Structure 1
Amino acid sequence: MELRNETPDDWWGIESLYDLTFAPGRKALSSYRLRDDVPPVPAFCRVFATDDGVIGGAIRCWPIRVEDHSALLLGPVAVHPTRQGEGLGGLLIRDVLERAGPAGWPRVLLVGDAPYYERFGFKLLNGVVMPPPTNPARVLGFGAWAGIRGRVRKRLD
C-alpha cells in the first residue's frame, strides 16, 4: 500500500469506505454541516491504496474557523475492516499532524473519543463549541489552541 494524495478517481472508493466503516447516518452528524458546500483541503486528503487503486484507508480535512482563527477539521478518517489493526489510521493522522503546522495550519480540530486521540496529542477544547448536537467532551484539538474560544464555523474563503 502506498500513502498518497487523493485523486478524483478515488472519490467513489473513499465514499464507499466511509459508508462501510461509519453508521449509515454519518452525513447527519453536525461535523458534516461544516463540510457542506466547502471543498476539503487537497493537501490533507490522503489515501492508502494498492497499485490497482483499492483504497485501504482514507483521511480528509476541511477548513474551519473559530472566531478569527483558522483550523483544519480532521476527518473523517477510516480504515477498511480487512486492514484494521495494521496502524494505517495512526499513520494517516500523524501524516496530517506533521504537515499541518508547516503548511500554515497551526490548529487541528476533531470530534472523537479522547482516549483514542490523546495518543496523537489531542486535548479537550473547553470553550470551543461545535454545532449541535455535539457532545462537548468529544471536541478535541491539536496545536495552538491556547486562549481560543468560540463557535466553530465553516471557512468559506
Structure 2
Amino acid sequence: MTNALATLTALDVAAVPFAIRAEKSSDIAARERLLDACFGEGRHARTCQRLRDGRAPAEGLAFSAVRQGRLVGTVRLWHVDAGGRAALVLGPLAVDPSCREFGVGGALMRAALAEAAARGHGAVILLGDAPYYVRFGFTTNKMGALALPGPFERDRLLGLELREGALDGAAGLIVATGAVAKPARAERARLRRAA
C-alpha cells in the first residue's frame, strides 16, 4: 500500500505543473531576476513603475506561481487614485518563458482579480496588450479621461470594474496612494549604521 501511495503522490505532483500562492519574502530575489529576464534592466524606467516606486503592494494582493520549488510567475496589485476613484493597478505580470504553455499568466490573473474582488476593491487598471487582457474583462471603456505619470500608449490603458460603476466619472492623473514600502533588511541595516 505504501508503494501505491508513493506512486500516486508522485503522479499527482507531476500532473500539476504549478501552484499559485501568496508571495513570500523569500520570493523577492527570484521575482526580481524573473522581472529582469522578462522586461530587461530598463524596466525601472517604465511609466507604470512610477506608481510602484517606494510603495508596498496592496495587502494580500501579491502572488507567486511556483513549479517544482522554483518561482515561475509573479503578479502584484497596487493602490492608486484613478482620477478621483480608488482603484488598483496591476503589474507587472511576468511568467518564465519555459512555463508559458502551462497557463501560468492566466492563473495568476484569475487569482489576483478574484482576491481583489473578495477584498472589496472596485476596479483594476493596467497598461498592457488588449488582445491578452480582454479575456479577463479589461477594456478601454472609462479610461479615456485618465492619464499616467509619463508617456504611454492610450490604447494600452485598460480597466476592469470589479464593482459596477467603480470607474464612473474617473478623470485625471492616476497617482499612487498605497502604503510606503518598508526598506529591505539590508537597506534598513545601512540606514541604522548611517544614523
TM-score of the superposed pair, with normalisation by structure 2: 0.76
Q: Which residue of 2 aligns with 1:64?
A: 80
Task: For 1:37-52, list aligned pairs within 5 A.
Answer: 37-50=54-67, 52=69
TM-score of the superposed pair, with normalisation by structure 1: 0.93
Using the alignment, how far apart are the partners of 2:62 and 2:159 within structure 1? Answer: 19
1:123 and 2:139 are equivalent in the alignment: yes
Identical positions, percent: 35
Partners of 1:2 and 1:49 within 8 A in 2: yes
Larger radius of gyration: 2
Residue 104 of structure 1 deviates from its aligned partner by 2.0
Using the alignment, how far apart are the partners of 2:97 and 2:67 within structure 1? Answer: 15
Partners of 1:114 and 1:123 within 8 A in 2: yes
Q: Secondary structure at the match of 1:16?
A: helix
Return closer, same or farther for 1:128/1:12 CA change in 2, 3 Å cut-off.
Answer: same
Task: For 1:5-16, list aligned pairs within 5 A.
Answer: 5-16=22-33
Using the alignment, how far apart are the partners of 1:101 and 1:136 within structure 2? Answer: 26
Using the alignment, how far apart are the partners of 1:85 and 1:150 within structure 2? Answer: 38
Residue 2 of structure 1 deviates from its aligned partner by 1.8
Bigger share in helix: 2
Structure 1, residues 61-103: CA drift from partner, whole Å, max 9, x if none?
A: 1111123321111010111011012111011111111221221
Partners of 1:111 and 1:139 within 8 A in 2: yes
Structure 1: gaps spanning 5 or more residues: none
Structure 2: gaps spanning 5 or more residues: 1-17, 180-195
Q: Which residue of 1 aligns with 2:175?
A: 153
Using the alignment, how far apart are the partners of 1:128 and 1:68 within structure 2? Answer: 10
Structure 1, residues 106-150: CA drift from partner, whole Å, max 9, x if none?
A: 100000011111111001111111112111111100013232222
Structure 1, residues 22-42: CA drift from partner, whole Å, max 9, x if none?
A: 132111001111111111114
4+ runs of 1 displaced by more than 6 Å?
none
Using the alignment, how far apart are the partners of 1:112 and 1:145 within structure 2? Answer: 18
> How many residues end up aligned between the 2 structures?
156
Partners of 1:64 and 1:153 within 8 A in 2: yes
